[in-house]
Structure 1
Amino acid sequence: MEENGVRINKFLSEAGVCSRREADRQIEAGKVGIDGVTAKTGDRVLKGQTVTYNGQVVSKEEEMILIALNKPAGIVCTAEKREKNNVIDYLNYPKRIYPIGRLDKDSEGLLLLTNNGEIVNKMMRSGNRHEKEYIVTVNKTISDSFIRGLAGGVPLVELGVTTRKCHVKKLSSKQFKIILTQGYNRQIRRMCEYFGYRVVKLERVRIMNIELGDLPRGKYRAVTPLEYKGLKRLIADSSNQPVIPDTNKDHSDKKYTDKKHTDKKYQDRRAK
């Protein structure tokens, strides 16, 4: 631990309790204590001090946990116990973990869960522009103009933003692949609705270098050492601080893509 301690939200994040943002909410709600005193936002934890959350002592988990789940539709990406369909109760994992980001209730596919808060911060900050890939089925025949429109950036008026340019490829008459580097609430569904399409099925098949593959729906697996090594390489230069995105600027050039996932060396390795 640092000589002058660590911020309480970082301590909770690194202990696998929740993300820093959620930790701030729990601190404001009065659910966190330091040596028996209710913690305040910005407090620091010094070596030897005891931290509690909901009355339970919090200790850092030494083992690094990172698992990949094929989330079924209907499961909610939250650790909130008041949500009866929360993903933590669904998994019933023997150690404390929480989801990295979200996949909305009606969507399915790849969801990563961990006990490492720093990985969460680096992977999920929108400004770090890490790729997530989806296969989307819509309710009517896909036009070329629809594909171009999605790829060119879509105004989401209700959120006050315009999506970044992205890669979109038509797969069949009603199905397409899309690669995003953002994660606005129900982003793909909103993008489709802007052009008069309705999403029938949405499946996430890749997060950065980790792929869903043939993992059965509802099952999970440990992320392999090779995958974890590649992931660490991709997030090595990523910020773990909040980022205010510039939604008007085109960030589609190569330096903002997960280049290591698409370069020849990576493709050759996958082919073996």
Structure 2
Amino acid sequence: MASKRGRLDQFVARALQVSKKAVRQLLINNHILVDGTVAKSPDLQIDEFSHIVCNDVVLQQHQKQYYMLNKPDGVVSATIDDKHPTALSLLKGINPAMLHIAGRLDLHSTGLLLITNDAKWSATLMAPDHKVAKQYIVTLAHPISDDYIEAFAKGMYFAFENITTQPAQLTMLSAHQARVVLREGKYHQIKRMFGRFRNPVVALHRESIGGITLDNTLLPGEYRVLTQAEVDCIIQH
């Protein structure tokens, strides 16, 4: 979802149903405030979070929102779905109109899901060049060995897309479970990498994205607002 930037005069003209000439007169008379400051320029760039007031009437006052959700199995990372409950439907009492999911999980994958209305923030989070680490606990059908560690660290070539995955860190936790850290997100990447060993993934649980770790007090389906420190750790990455 892209940030909705545009000219101030176009926004005010639409909001008040007046001409741009009328908006220019409002600006000349100091009748329009943007983020608490008197606006002078009709081509001032605003976005969906600019606080805009005209003659003491608030035209826009959207607040940035950031949530972490402990996604349960069987919930889709989507805004609308005809067959399954959606992640946004679990945010009870929250208006989902401007919200979107930053970093999706498959239907049966669980764990940390980030939801926001801040397109710039989510774009930073998911940008390939930022290489934000994503950490998962993976449960496998068959035992794993040290061979997996080297293969994940070297990267794997997938002919269908003609790509080689970036080095990934695998730590063995038990015979059937590993912690995997990725800095990219190719299609079904973890399942396909373990598929090279003909070892099906039984469960996939995301623990963290960058400096944001799933709150262990949240039960599956529960959510909370991100702290300012959590929000900032993505921006400062």
TM-score by length of 2: 0.73
Please give the secondary structure, in 2, of the residue aligned with 1:10.
Answer: coil
Contact residue 65 and residue 117 of structure 2 kept, 8 A:
yes
Contact residue 209 and residue 227 of structure 1 kept, 8 A:
yes
Give the partner amino acid of 1:66: Y
Between structure 1 and structure 2, the one with the greater Rg is 2
Aligned-pair CA distance for 1:233: 1.7
**Does 2:47 correspond to 1:47?**
no
**Does 2:214 correspond to 1:212?**
yes
**Does 2:189 correspond to 1:225?**
no
Q: 1:79 to 1:146 in 2, by over 3 A?
A: same
Q: Which residue of 2 aligns with 1:72?
A: 72
Structure 1, 215-224 or 60-69: larger mean CA deviation: 60-69
Q: 1:135 to 1:49 in 2, by over 3 A?
A: farther
1:165-176 matched pairs, under 5 angstroms? 165-176=167-178
Q: What is the distance in 2 between the residues matched to 1:87 and 1:50?
A: 33
**Does 2:6 correspond to 1:10?**
no
Contact residue 2 and residue 119 of structure 2 kept, 8 A:
no
Please give the secondary structure, in 2, of the residue aligned with 1:47.
Answer: helix
Aligned-pair CA distance for 1:157: 2.7
Give the partner amino acid of 2:173: L
CA RMSD of aligned residues (A): 2.4
| % identical aligned pairs | 29
Q: What is the distance in 2 between the residues matched to 1:231 and 1:208?
A: 7
TM-score by length of 1: 0.64
Q: 1:174 to 1:81 in 2, by over 3 A?
A: closer
Specify every segment of 5 or more residues in structure 1 that has no aligned partner in the other structure, as ranges.
Answer: 1-7, 15-42, 52-58, 235-272
Q: What is the distance in 2 between the residues matched to 1:134 and 1:81?
A: 25
Q: What is the distance in 2 between the residues matched to 1:49 and 1:194?
A: 58
Q: What is the distance in 1 between the residues matched to 2:94 and 2:193?
A: 38
Residue 152 of structure 1, aligned match among 151, 154, 158: 154
Q: What is the distance in 2 between the residues matched to 1:199 and 1:187?
A: 11
Q: 1:217 to 1:134 in 2, by over 3 A?
A: same
Q: How many equivalent pairs are there?
A: 191
Q: What is the distance in 2 between the residues matched to 1:82 and 1:159?
A: 30
